[in-house]
Structure 1
Amino acid sequence: MNGLDGKVAVVTGAASGIGAATAALLAARGARVVVTDIDDDRAMAVAASLGDRAVHLHADVTREDDVAAAVGAAVTHFGRLDAMINNAGRVGNWTYVADTSAEDWDSAFAVLARSAFFGTKHASRVMRDQGSGTIVNVSSVAGVRTGFGPHPYGAAKAAVLALTRSAARELAEFGIRVNAVTPGGVATRIVGSGAGLDGDDLDASVETVRRGLASFQPVPRAGEGEDIAGAIGYLVSDDASFVTGQNMIVDGGLTLGKAWPRNYRAEADAAARRE
């Protein structure tokens, strides 16, 4: 894969899971990274593991000033911004629509959709002046099919996809590409929390999620943060220079539905008849 050496990226929600894996992949392929999250201890550890290729910045993505500051940090520390990865997220409460509170709805849109808007808005300002840049919004299979997340979560993730398309159409003439990545079942702390597996050790819940997902989708294993990071790495690279406004679904076939069970006796009988 070409086109990452020397690039500068901001990754939100980079303290763990997909965000941490993305920061690590981009740095390993030559990019410099601003690692942002509200979990400062974990985010600082991620940044420290990447050495002088990364800096940490506290950022609450529901606050526009924090997102603007993250974009500004890329320019201040590294001189430019080539890739904005709007990844921060949460799952929220699973409830019937009749029991969903306005607070849960607003919180989901603030963390998931409004944050992507803030990232796109402020990154595009820098990128327009440069005449180049890429923005990747992390959505979810819950945004393309029902049943994979709470109502507010699915609606907010669908809004992220709509924003991706409209921003891509507007910004293409400025040399800015905007795409989305849609993960399926990925073994992360956020998924564990959304499944109600917090307990005293959220990291332990990741293993529970990993085992459960192995039998839940056509590719018989859980998705990992690195699987999604690889797709993001492609989209921000020069290899994807002609790709914009697209939604790359990386879900182990989850959205294909369950496979038909094979009937081996029927197959054997059919083969015998053909002989």
Structure 2
Amino acid sequence: MADLSGKVAIITGAASGIGLAGVEVFVAAGAKVIAGDIQDEKGKALETRFGADTVRYIHCDVTDMEELEALMQSAVDAFGGLDILWNNAGHGGTPTGVEDLDLEGYDHTMNLLLKQVFAGTKFAIPHMKARGKGSVINTSSISAVCAGYAPITYSVAKKGVAHFSKLAAGELAKHQIRVNAILPGFIATSIFGATLGLPREQADQMAEMLSQVGGKMQPIGRVGRGNDIAEMAAFLASDAAGFITGGEFLVDGGMTVGPPHSWNEDASSPVLDALGIDAEQAEQMRLAMTSGAQS
């Protein structure tokens, strides 16, 4: 486990999913945490669970710049400074494509997924400079590198998050502030149900269902958990990652290594599908070629 002893962290979107796992992992690693979210009941339960001397919940809509800036100051007020910022808050964004693009939904998606990453980092910089160094971690997505995993607006925003992290890393290195992006794969959280418009309770139930059936989608054989992402974030936040900045870290169970036939021997090749050759015929062809080569 990473060592975050003596460090103060802010995690946005901290009341559920990946953010909640982040609070749990960071506290276990020794950090004090400001948990920012708009889910007040769940957020206050976090503060009660860990104690206000370790976790403080702050209501924060990350698209509200005044609330976001106040969130950064809350770390100083509560725990004396700010060492780590994990820009994690988000949702699935507008589901519309280019032709039928919902422009209002586009603006909201970009504000939530991209603008707040710029702004949160901006507001954190003075506090990290006061500490002499810092670590900013941004939640991107595998949809930043591959098509077909999420709606186009979400995917473009997450690509922006990843590239922003690289550019900001170069700009802030002189202040010993490191910036890295994590690109999660299929993580069973309520974001899927929330994107479909389900109430929060039903979205949470859908996340549990996805955790049971999603393993077949990826080489590692199981769906991702919030803890998988949180452990990577804790490492990047720690001094053990002191030489790492500007990185984009896939945490996806191998989901982006290639199409299913590249890792699942039972999956058919798209080339053979296009030729109308099934798995049995392909095996017969392979045996015939092997026999011919040996004769």
Question: Could you tell me which residue of structure 2 aligns to residue 18 of structure 1?
Answer: 18
C-alpha spacing 1:223/1:199, structure 2 compared with 1 (3 Å): same
- The answer to whether 1:28 aligns with 2:28 is yes
- The answer to whether 1:207 aligns with 2:208 is yes
CA distance in 1, matches of 2:222, 2:105: 31
Instruction: Report the AA paired with residue 10 of structure 1.
Output: I
Question: Could you tell me which residue of structure 1 aligns to residue 130 of structure 2?
Answer: 129
Deviation of residue 218 (structure 1)?
A: 1.5
In structure 2, the gaps of 5 or more residues are: 267-278
Contact 1:37 1:59 in 2 (8 A): yes
Name the larger-Rg structure.
2
Deviation per CA, 1:111-164, whole angstroms, max 9, x where unpaired? 110111111101112112221110000011111211111111011111111211
Q: Specify the SS of the correspondent of 2:211.
A: helix
CA distance in 1, matches of 2:115, 2:126: 17
Q: Specify the SS of the correspondent of 2:63.
A: coil
Question: Could you tell me which residue of structure 2 aligns to residue 63 of structure 1?
Answer: 64
Structure 1 runs of 4+ with >3 Å offset: 195-200, 263-271
Question: Could you tell me which residue of structure 2 aligns to residue 262 of structure 1?
Answer: 265
Q: Specify the SS of the correspondent of 1:201.
A: helix
Instruction: Report the AA paired with residue 131 of structure 1.
Output: G
Contact 2:106 2:153 in 1 (8 A): yes
Question: Could you tell me which residue of structure 2 aligns to residue 73 of structure 1?
Answer: 74
CA distance in 2, matches of 1:188, 1:46: 18
Contact 1:191 1:209 in 2 (8 A): no
Deviation of residue 203 (structure 1)?
A: 1.7
Aligned residues: 273
Question: Could you tell me which residue of structure 1 aligns to residue 270 of structure 2?
Answer: none
Contact 2:94 2:109 in 1 (8 A): no
1:83-162 correspondence runs (5 A) = 83-162=84-163
- The answer to whether 1:6 aligns with 2:6 is yes
CA distance in 2, matches of 1:190, 1:128: 34
In structure 1, the gaps of 5 or more residues are: none
Contact 2:180 2:247 in 1 (8 A): yes
Deviation per CA, 1:49-71, whole angstroms, max 9, x where unpaired? 22231001000000111111111
CA distance in 2, matches of 1:255, 1:195: 24
Question: Could you tell me which residue of structure 1 aligns to residue 49 of structure 2?
Answer: 49
TM-score normalised by L of structure 2: 0.86
Instruction: Report the AA paired with residue 6 of structure 1.
Output: G
Q: Specify the SS of the correspondent of 2:95.
A: coil
- The answer to whether 1:188 aligns with 2:162 is no
Deviation per CA, 1:15-41, whole angstroms, max 9, x where unpaired? 100000001100111000001101111
Contact 1:217 1:258 in 2 (8 A): no
CA distance in 2, matches of 1:236, 1:74: 16
Contact 1:8 1:81 in 2 (8 A): yes
Instruction: Report the AA paired with residue 127 of structure 2.
Output: V
CA distance in 2, matches of 1:34, 1:180: 20
TM-score normalised by L of structure 1: 0.92
